[in-house]
Amino acid sequence: MTGWKLGYEDLKALRPDIIMASGSAWGQEGPWARRPGFDHVAQALSGIMYEQGGGPDKEPHALIGGFADSIGGIVLAFGIASALYVRAATGQGQHVDVSLISGMTTMQSRELIRFLRTNEQPGFEFRRAATYTHYRTSEGRYVAIAANTQEMWERFCDVAAPHLKVDPRFADPFGRFDNKMELVGVMEELFLTHTSDEWEAMLVQADVPHAPVLPYRDYVEHPQVVANHLIQEIDTPNLGKMRVPGPPVHMSLTPPHIPGGGPELGQNTEDILLEAGYTWEDIEGFHRDDVISSIGAGESKHLRPQA
């Protein structure tokens, strides 16, 4: 952008309070600033592949495709909103810069702080704790629990296994930590004695955080997802009606919604060029020279005004 005279300093000279947002793979500074990059390679550099894979001595595993892209976009949107707030309060614009690796660094704050304090990266553990994991039930489904306080553990025992409450190996948090894998074995056998629905009823009675482990086909139809409008239906110009994830933020005064599909290729190009002062002759020349592209394989979406 700077090479095209469209960098922040160039635009600031035209409008001092402008807010310019930049999203890149590696950031604006440093030896990698000019390198190309995508989601997968940003995950690789960020350390999360080894964290997800079990640590530096294990095989690395990537997260779902687009994870670094999505987090980078969310962080960039947060930066833009912050800059808009600053401008409303002070009248000052600024350059907002977010990279894929800056977003990934933020998402790994807990794990990175642990490493920076201990110089160790234990990586992903299949069972982080015996009472903060998921277990298979009698019909082959899985239930996740998060009984991470002493009170929750005792309530769980009251409804599911009273004998564990007084077992000296598991009676307190330190014992459950020291004897984690022993307790995991006990819990695996215990959860196989009931169905998922039966566990749901018991865990609700015990007021222990829990949830079924769902595939997408069940998640999108779950009553909690439906009640919060997390999946919505939109109209698109090419695909007709389709279901998409809804806005994650609910706002009482200005509720957001998904208005439709994304813009067509070049849908707004001509409008922007006209607003910028270019003429129809200029725009037609841009099309002929393949400088711009828009709907209809390069054909103008507007009818040029007749003389």
Residue 162, strand partner residues: none
Q: Which residue among 70, 92, 118 closes a domain?
A: 118
> How confident is residue 260, by pLDDT bands cut at 50, 70 and 90?
confident
- Asked whether the predicted pLDDT for residue 43 surpasses 50, the reply is yes
| Token duo for residue 99 | 């990279």
Dihedrals phi, psi of 144, to nearest 5 degrees: -100, 140
Count CB atoms within 10 A of the CB of residue 100. 27
- Asked whether the predicted pLDDT for residue 303 surpasses 50, the reply is no
Determine the Cα–Cα distance for residues 31 and 2; give it in Å rounded to an integer.
Answer: 17
Q: Where is pLDDT greater, at 302 or 52? A: 52
Residue 127 belongs to a domain: no
- Asked whether the predicted pLDDT for residue 115 surpasses 70, the reply is yes
The string of pLDDT tens digits covering residues 80-106 is 999 999 999 999 999 999 999 999 999
Name the pairing type of β-strands 142-146 and 231-236.
unpaired
Determine the Cα–Cα distance for residues 111 and 133; give it in Å rounded to an integer.
Answer: 18
- The count of structural domains within the chain is 3
- Is residue 15 domain-shared with residue 46, that is, in the same domain? yes
Q: Which residue among 84, 118, 152 closes a domain?
A: 118
Residue 22 belongs to a domain: yes
Q: Where is pLDDT greater, at 292 or 264? A: 292
- Is residue 14 domain-shared with residue 89, that is, in the same domain? yes
Q: Helix and strand tally (H, E) in the chain? A: 15, 7
Runs of H (alpha helix) within the chain? 8-14, 39-46, 48-53, 67-90, 100-107, 109-118, 150-160, 162-165, 173-178, 180-191, 196-206, 216-219, 223-227, 269-275, 280-288
- Asked whether the predicted pLDDT for residue 66 surpasses 80, the reply is yes
- Is residue 111 domain-shared with residue 140, that is, in the same domain? no
Segment 142-171 mean pLDDT: 96
The string of pLDDT tens digits covering residues 212-248 is 999 999 999 999 999 999 999 999 888 899 999 999 9
> How confident is residue 118, by pLDDT bands cut at 50, 70 and 90?
very high
Residue 219 belongs to a domain: no
pLDDT above 70 covers a percentage of the chain that reads: 95
Residue pointed to by tokens 């409804």: 159
- Is residue 28 domain-shared with residue 96, that is, in the same domain? yes
Single out the residue of 270, 188, 194, 151 nearest to residue 202, CA to CA. 194
- Asked whether the predicted pLDDT for residue 138 surpasses 60, the reply is yes
Segment 258-280 mean pLDDT: 89
What is the pLDDT, as a whole number, of residue 30?
94
Residue 231 belongs to a domain: no
> How confident is residue 295, by pLDDT bands cut at 50, 70 and 90?
low
Residue 248 belongs to a domain: no
Residue 251 belongs to a domain: no
Q: Which residue among 118, 152, 167 closes a domain?
A: 118
- Asked whether the predicted pLDDT for residue 195 surpasses 50, the reply is yes
- Is residue 99 domain-shared with residue 138, that is, in the same domain? no
Segment 188-192 mean pLDDT: 98
CATH, residue 84: 3.40.50.10540
- Is residue 113 domain-shared with residue 136, that is, in the same domain? no
Segment 171-189 mean pLDDT: 96
Residue 55 belongs to a domain: yes
- Is residue 156 domain-shared with residue 101, that is, in the same domain? no
- Is residue 14 domain-shared with residue 97, that is, in the same domain? yes
Residue 232 belongs to a domain: no
- Is residue 24 domain-shared with residue 73, that is, in the same domain? yes
- As to burial, measured by CB atoms within 10 angstroms (0-12 exposed, 13-18 middle, 19+ buried), residue 43 is buried
Determine the Cα–Cα distance for residues 38 and 97; give it in Å rounded to an integer.
Answer: 17
**Beta carbons within 8 Å of 43's beta carbon, 6+ residues apart:** 49, 62, 63, 67, 68, 104
- Is residue 108 domain-shared with residue 185, that is, in the same domain? no
What is the pLDDT, as a whole number, of residue 294?
66
- Asked whether the predicted pLDDT for residue 75 surpasses 80, the reply is yes
The boundaries of the domain holding residue 297 are 263-307
- Asked whether the predicted pLDDT for residue 305 surpasses 90, the reply is no
What is the pLDDT, as a whole number, of residue 239?
85
DSSP 281-297: HHHHHHHHTTS---TTT
Average pLDDT, the chain: 92
- Asked whether the predicted pLDDT for residue 296 surpasses 80, the reply is no
Determine the Cα–Cα distance for residues 291 and 287; give it in Å rounded to an integer.
Answer: 6
Gap between the terminal Cα atoms of the chain: 37
- Is residue 145 domain-shared with residue 187, that is, in the same domain? yes
- Asked whether the predicted pLDDT for residue 306 surpasses 60, the reply is no
CATH, residue 206: 3.30.1540.10
- Is residue 146 domain-shared with residue 185, that is, in the same domain? yes
Side chain identity, residue 174: F
pLDDT above 90 covers a percentage of the chain that reads: 83
DSSP letter for 2, please: T
